Amino acid sequence: MVCEKIDLYAYFGEERKGREGGFLTVYARERNPELPRKIRPAMLVVPGGAYYSVSAREGEPVALAFVGEGYQAFVLEYTTKTAHPVPLFEAAMAMRFIRTEAEKYSVDPTHVGAIGFSAGGHLIGLLATVWEQSELRGVRPDAVALAYPVVTTGEFTHEDSANFISGGKKELRARLSVEKLVTKDSVPAFLWHTFEDGLVPVENSLLLAEAYRRAGVPFELHIFEHGPHGLSVATFETADTPSGDLINEAVSAWTGALFKWLRARGFAVI
């Protein structure tokens, strides 16, 4: 197993300008000399944290779940407590890195996806909808998954996330409502949420699903009845005790449903 941390600013020769994020942790199976031609799909994992922090519970455990399915996984530690477009710029660098180094990590460059949780879901939602902007060309994910994502910056938003990413600027905040950015060219998406989410209302996923439907972009939506915000993989792996709200057998089925959806889109070891 290759496990290394990449400074994306140094890799691309970009000025850091005091930004604390922009690091990518690689979780990749080493090339097997007995199976030298095998290549794998890749998944960029973007944790949440209200744009204030980066949740470890939504990073490595998720990456290892993908590694267990044969993927090469990459976890982004992005700069927090800063306004748009800094986190999006770092997510774009992460996507560029994965495709640039596809041969090194035995990655299929035509099947590189991204998954975001909560505020990380907002970040990947942006990447899935505004990738055609000139400064983001070449970083379009082939599929995205959004887990209990912050989508809207309007009525049903998560206020802390919306305020941090907009820097408190009303005009910028209005422009970062993902459901208003969806076009026919947006990236196909897998969405999941819980009805009981008390921090990021389920309306966020519903609004995005409606926008995808109107634009004719393929999506799959799962709404689970029970469970709080921040479930991650919803097993003991991401809970601090063997019981409690963060373990939910019904919700933990989202990983299997996502893997099946991705396989149908061609994400497979070849």
Supply the CATH number for residue 238's domain: 3.40.50.1820
Residue 236 is assigned to a structural domain of this protein: yes
The count of domains in the chain is 1
**Mean pLDDT calculated for residue range 23-31:** 95
Q: Identify the residue with better confidence: 110 or 135.
A: 110
Task: Please say if the pLDDT value at position 243 is more than 90.
Answer: no
Cβ count near 68 (within 10 Å): 11
Per residue in 77-90, pLDDT tens? 999 999 999 999 99
**Mean pLDDT calculated for residue range 145-157:** 97
The three-point CA angle 75-77-80 to 5° equals 150
Task: Please say if the pLDDT value at position 72 is more than 70.
Answer: yes
Give the C-alpha separation, 192 to 69, whole Å. 19
Share of the chain above pLDDT 70, in %: 99
Residue 270 is assigned to a structural domain of this protein: no
Residue 145 is assigned to a structural domain of this protein: yes
**Mean pLDDT calculated for residue range 92-96:** 96
**Mean pLDDT calculated for residue range 61-88:** 97
Residue 150 is assigned to a structural domain of this protein: yes
Residue labelled with tokens 């690689």 = 26
Residue 182 is assigned to a structural domain of this protein: yes
Residue 74 is assigned to a structural domain of this protein: yes
**Mean pLDDT calculated for residue range 219-242:** 96
The pLDDT value recorded for residue 146 is 98
Per residue in 167-225, pLDDT tens? 999 999 999 999 999 999 999 999 999 999 999 999 999 999 999 999 999 999 999 99
Residue labelled with tokens 């140094």 = 10
The pLDDT value recorded for residue 33 is 81
Residue 268: HSE in the Cβ half-sphere, 13 Å Cα cutoff: 7
For residue 171, count CB atoms less than 10 angstroms from its CB and return exposed for 0-12, middle for 13-18, buried for 19 or more: exposed
Mean pLDDT of the chain: 96
Residue 36 is assigned to a structural domain of this protein: yes
Task: Please say if the pLDDT value at position 134 is more than 70.
Answer: no
Domain range for 97: 2-264
Q: Which pLDDT band, with edges at 50, 70 and 90, does 136 fall under?
A: confident
Q: Which residues, at least 6 apart from 17, have a Cβ–Cβ distance to it below 8 Å?
A: none
Residue 269 is assigned to a structural domain of this protein: no
CA distances from 164 to 18, 50, 172, 173, 182 (A): 17, 8, 11, 9, 22
